[in-house]
Amino acid sequence: MRILPLLLVTLAGFAQPRYSEPVRTSQIQAEYSAEARAANLEGIVTVYLEIDTEGKPDNVQVIQGLGLGLDEKAVEAVRRWQFKPALLSGEPTRTAQAAEIPFRLNTAPAWRIRHTAYAVVREDRGHLEPVVKPALTAYSRPDPAACTAGNALVTVKMRIGKDGVPVNVETFDVPEDTTGKAVLDAARAWRFLPATGSKKPRFADATVLLECSAEAVQPTIAPTARVGGGVTPPTVVSKIEPEYSEGARKSRLQGNVVVSLQVDTAGVATNMKITKMLGQGLDAKAMEALKTWHFKPGTKDGKPVTVFATIEVSFRLM
C-alpha cells in the first residue's frame, strides 16, 4: 500500500487523455426496513458500484453494512440510480466508486453508527480461507438521554463469538462517564450472525464508531483540503489487508488498484472512487478493505481536517 502525493504530473511530449467523471442524473432514496425502524437503528451503509458505458449501475454490493435489512434496501435503491457515464477522450468508459447511503429516523440528537470494521479470526493458517464477516441481527440503541446537542464520537471494540454474542466490550474516546455507560449497556445487548470461514463459525474482532449527532436527515458535508499550505497528510494507524476474490485467485490476477478518497476528521475513508481498475472483483475488495482502515487525520493549524488522498492497494499472490 502507498499513499500517493496528490500531484498532477504532465510529461512533455505526451498528451494526457481528457477525463470527466460520471454524473448522477437520478437518485432513488433507500427505504427503511421494518426491523431497523423498530430497533431505531440509524447509520450509513457503504455500497460499491460500477457505472457502465450506458450510465447504468452494475456489480452493486455492500462493502460496509448496518444489518437488519438496511443493506438490502441500500443495494435496491442504488441499482435504480441513473448516470451520465464517465468520458475518456470523449468516449464513454466504465468506472467504479462507493456511495454512502445514510439512514436517518430522527432530526433531534440521536445515536448513529458511522463506521464499522470487522476482522475475522482465521483458523486455517496454512490456507487463506474465504471468510464472511459478521452481520448485526439485534440492535439496542444507547440511551438518547446520553446524547446531547452537538457531535460526539465513541469507539466500541469487542470480540464477536461463534454464537454471535459480543464479549470483551470496551469503549474508547468517551466524552463522559454517563455516555460510556450508555454505550456499553447498549453494545453488550447487540447480537450478530457470526462470521464464517470455510463455511464454519469463526470469531471476529469488531470496531464500531458511534456518533451522537445533532445532524438532520442529510449529514453535513465538511470542506476538504489538499496537502500543502499548512495542511498535513493523513497517516495509516491500523489496517486490514484486502481479501482476494475467488475469481482473481483462480486466474492468478495480480496488480494495483488506485483509489482516490477523503479521510475525514474521525480518520475514516469516505467518498471513494477508483482511478485505476484491476477487475475480477478486486476493485470492490480494495474499497472494502479501505473502509476498515483507521487513519490519523490530516491537520491544519493543529486541528483535524478532511483531506484528499490517493492510495494504491496492491494485490500479490505468494
Q: What is the pLDDT of residues 141-183, one digit of tens each?
A: 999 888 865 668 899 999 999 999 999 999 987 777 778 889 9
Predicted local distance difference test score (pLDDT) of residue 125: 57
Q: What is the DSSP string of 127-175?
A: S---EE--EEEE--PPPGGG--SS-EEEEEEEEE-TTS-EEEEEEES-S
The better pLDDT of the pair 179, 194 is held by: 194
Top mean-pLDDT range of 61-75, 165-179, 225-239: 61-75
pTM: 0.88
Q: Residue 49 pLDDT more than 70?
A: yes
Average pLDDT (70-84) is 97
With a CB cutoff of 8 Å and minimum separation 6, the contacts of 232 are: 298, 299, 300
Q: Give the mean pLDDT of 21-47.
A: 95
Under 8 Å CB-to-CB from 105, ≥6 apart: which residues? 32, 37, 40, 42
The whole-number average pLDDT for the span 55-67 is 95
Residues 53-60: contacts with CB under 8 Å, at least 24 apart: 53/85, 53/92, 53/93, 53/94, 54/85, 54/92, 55/22, 55/25, 55/82, 55/83, 55/84, 55/85, 55/92, 56/82, 56/83, 57/81, 57/83, 59/96, 59/284
How far apart, in whole angstroms, are the C-alpha atoms of residue 30 and residue 76? Answer: 7
Mean pLDDT over all residues of the chain? 87
* Residues 265-278, mean pLDDT to the nearest whole number: 93
Domains, in order of start, for the chain: 31-103 (3.30.2420.10), 110-213 (3.30.2420.10), 224-315 (3.30.2420.10)
pLDDT at 3: 47
Is residue 166 within 8 A of residue 136, CB to CB? The reply is no
CB proximity list for 279: less than 8 A, separation 6 or greater: 248, 253
